[in-house]
Structure 1
Amino acid sequence: MSMILASQSASRKAMLEAAGVPFEARAGHVDEGAIKRELIGVPPGDIALILAEAKALAVSVGAPGRLVLGGDSLVEVCGRLFDKPVSRENAAEHLAFFSGNEMRLHSAAVLMRDGQCVWRHVECARLKVRSLSDSFIQSYLHREWPAVSGCVGVFRMEALGAQLFEAVEGSHFTVLGMPLLALLGALRDLGELEA
């Protein structure tokens, strides 16, 4: 029996497929905005875990006995949290704000079975955004929009998003949106993958 990924994230699906983890994807519908409004002042890594757990729970209740993976990523720049851009103009505003600053990307994963959390983990990667000119931002969005519309941080590291940064500290998988190595360890510990 394969695991359920409570997400339609192309990046998370690609990571699991590449790592040879059998899964099926089902979106875990939760009102992220409402949850975040209740979590003012909570550290970003904890918010990412709470959102990942909410997504896993939304799917787990309808999948008895199945292992469900929920994930979430949050971008923090200068103490401010950023959601996915709502428009191309909003994406340009985000990129202008990120310019020259450090981005902290918090990626969380939660495994749940029968509505009970069996494992949770969050990692943080630090990405130094280079100084971005207005003309670069516009040409970048001309080439990457709408592909980055569903990406917190307005980038796909596996594409032109690499051009936004001058340095990255942390796991490549965390930057892509999931603490994959820790997850694989948990799946082995739970007997879901061969040890």
Structure 2
Amino acid sequence: MSLWRGLHPLILASQSRTRLTLLTSAGIDVEVIPADIDERALQQASNLSAPGEIAVVLAREKALFVSLKKAGHYVVGADQTLALGDRLFNKPADRSQALAQLKALAGHTHDLYSAVAVALDGKIVFERTAMASLTMRPMAEADIAAYLDAAGDVVMSSVGSYQLERFGVHLFERIEGDHFTILGLPLLPLLGFLRSQFLLAI
């Protein structure tokens, strides 16, 4: 059942299946149009080092990129950054990078920052950032290799090389924060905004 009341479907400027699932499971009609932007180049050009601020900038740019092409549509951009102390992590390029990331994270607490931005007609009309802290259990390299074997190439699509909603849950001993934030979308604040625009039935 759809709870969406907008004239057009909500546009998700992301290739993330998890974000799409979160929105559609909430009864929202969604059209996916990934933003064709160079995230790393934008991050470097921003001269920002705070992970939360970087996530917001990238979420904004994704939403704006698609919004400029889709007049009259609400466009959602989202991004997630991971920080272990002062070290920032990106999506791994291959299995060896994924292994190295997980070895660095094992036995430590890291922070995930998830940002969402909504654009309409080329202007940002809403944005929010949320943070969660996750403590990964100590693991030997053989344990990490076994996880990567089980999880497969899907880990390449996730910052930090894990997906908590799948086999990645086995890597952790403590989690503090909103579940949706960990999955990469501050969903409750986003729903609140959409409700304020009379775009949802409930």
Normalised by the shorter chain, which TM-score bucket?
over 0.9
TM-score (norm 2): 0.94
Counterpart check, 1:155 vs 2:155: no
Cα distance change on mapping 1:42 and 1:78 into 2, 3 Å = closer
Q: Deviations over 1:126-167 (max 9, x none)?
A: 001110111101000011120111111111111110011111
Q: Which region of structure 1 is more displaced relative to structure 2, 20-29 or 35-44?
A: 35-44
Q: Secondary structure at the match of 2:15?
A: coil
Partner of 2:3: none
Shift of 1:42: 3.2
Instruction: Report the 3-state secondary structure (helix = DSSP H, G, I; strand = E; otherwise coil) of the residue aligned with 2:133.
Output: strand
Tell me the secondary structure at the aligned position of residue 125 of structure 2. Answer: strand
The alpha carbon displacement at 1:48 in A equals 0.3
Distance 2:27 2:84 in 1: 34
Alignment of 1:128 onto 2:135:
yes
- Structure 1 equivalent of residue 99 of structure 2: 92
Alignment correspondent of 2:31? 24
AA at the equivalent of 1:163: H
2:86 is aligned to 79
Q: Which residue of 1 aligns with 2:145?
A: 138
CA distance in 2, matches of 1:150, 1:117: 26
Letter in 1 for 2:81: L
Counterpart selection for 1:109 from 109, 113, 116 = 116
Q: Is the 8 Å Cα contact of residues 48 and 54 (structure 2) preserved in structure 1?
A: no
Asked if the contact 1:78/1:101 (under 8 Å) is kept, the reply is no
Identity of aligned residues (%): 38
Write out aligned runs for 1:50-65 (5 A): 50-65=57-72
Is 1:170 aligned with 2:177? Answer: yes
Q: SS at 1:146's partner residue?
A: helix
May I ask how many residue pairs the two structures share in their alignment?
Answer: 195
Partner of 2:143, secondary structure, is helix
* 1:8 Cα deviation from its structure 2 partner: 1.2
For residues 124 and 82 of structure 1, the distance between their equivalents in structure 2, rounded to whole angstroms, comes to: 15
Measured in 2, the distance between the counterparts of 1:41 and 1:27 equals 24
**Per the alignment, in what secondary structure is the counterpart of residue 131 of structure 1?**
coil
1:43: Cα distance to partner?
Answer: 1.4
3-state SS in 1 of match to 2:175? strand
Q: Counterpart of 2:46 in 1: which secondary structure?
A: coil
> Over aligned residues, Cα RMSD in angstroms?
1.0
Q: Distance in 2 between matches of 1:42 and 1:117?
A: 22
Offset at 1:38? 2.2
Q: In structure 2, what is the equivalent of residue 184 of structure 1? A: 191
Matched, 1:7 2:19: no
3-state SS, counterpart of residue 62 of structure 2? helix
**What stretches of structure 1 of length at least 5 have no aligned partner?**
none
How far apart, in 1, do the equivalents of 2:187 and 2:172 lie? 22
Gaps of 5+ in 2: 1-7
Could you tell me how far apart the structure 1 residues matched to 2:47 and 2:55 are? Answer: 13
